[in-house]
Amino acid sequence: MNSHVTEINSEAARLTGATSDFFRPCSLRRSSSPCPELRFLRSVLLSYSLLAECGAKPVRFCVNQSQFKALLPVDPSGSLEILHALRTEAAHSIHGSSNTQTIEAITRSWFRQHTKSDFPTNDAAWATCAQAIDDLTNAIIEAIRKFLRLLEDDPEMSAMKNELRQSMDGGISRQEIEDLVAQTLANQGRSDISPGRITDRFITAWTTTLNLKSNRTILIAEARKLIDNEIANLPEEPPFTGRDIMDIFNLRGRIVGELIREQKRLFQSGTKDSSQLLEHLALHLKTIQSSDETRRSLE
């Protein structure tokens, strides 16, 4: 996929004369985890990030063209909607459902299409879903490559090339936003917040607003203002996300939620140093595991 993205960036720049890449840099990579569920989650997040955030306006421009739609065996707009729904559910996978009926309906329908159930129930089903996302993303990437060749070969496409150039030179990428967030957090002394975490939280609202700006200088200035205001009003938060706790302690399931609640309790009571929090959480985990073993022995 990376080589095709690089090829698209090069071809689109040559074809349109745009000064910005078709796909802005994407910080996510495919997962090599042996766990199919984690591979699926990473595939969803990567595909959404690449097509809806790093590609943003150029991808939306292509998707809206009838010539592009003819290059895909599936509805491109519907495919992006599915990725958005799966990505939203993935973002809420640790803290529970997004509680959005439309999104839940889309995800269930997609899972039924690929696994014949409302939700994957085993590793094989998760692996099937991960492969389906990869195949869909590759198909869209390949359609973009064909669409660019079509633009180059047709002398009547000059107006469309100009529109593509305008879509490429506008907007702002997720990586640029995350870099601005990191700078703002450092300036405000907010070491308690992860740049990636706060970007995930506000990326959709920010890009919706910012991508309306056509002038690049104004866009960056407006981005700084949005980020400054949002971060200034954020309460202090514990440093470790549910995913962090899962990775640090190699945990899944109920115990993760208990450690999240314990971290919140400790943080609110004044324990805010990351090292101290980890020590307390490790002790709390031992207490939980010991209690579970005692209960099992009595059953």
What's residue 148's pLDDT? Answer: 94
Measured from the Cβ of residue 64, the count of other Cβ atoms closer than 10 Å reads 13
Which helix (DSSP H) or strand (DSSP E) does residue 64 occupy?
none
What's residue 89's pLDDT? Answer: 78
What's residue 179's pLDDT? Answer: 86
Helix (H, G, I), strand (E, B) or coil at 33: coil
Lookup: tokens for 199: 């970007």
Which backbone phi and psi does 203 adopt, to 5 degrees?
A: -55, -45
Cα(153)–Cα(161) distance, integer angstroms: 12
Q: Which single residue is written with the structure tokens 């030179």?
A: 169
DSSP letter (8 states) at residue 52? I
Task: Please state the domain extents for the chain.
Answer: 2-170, 171-237, 242-298
Provide the CA 259 distance to its chain's centre, in angstroms.
Answer: 25
Regions of the chain with pLDDT less than 50: 94-99
Tell me: the pLDDT tens digits for 5-63?
Answer: 999 999 999 998 888 889 988 888 888 889 999 999 999 999 999 998 898 889 988 99
Measured from the Cβ of residue 116, the count of other Cβ atoms closer than 10 Å reads 8
What's residue 1's pLDDT? Answer: 72
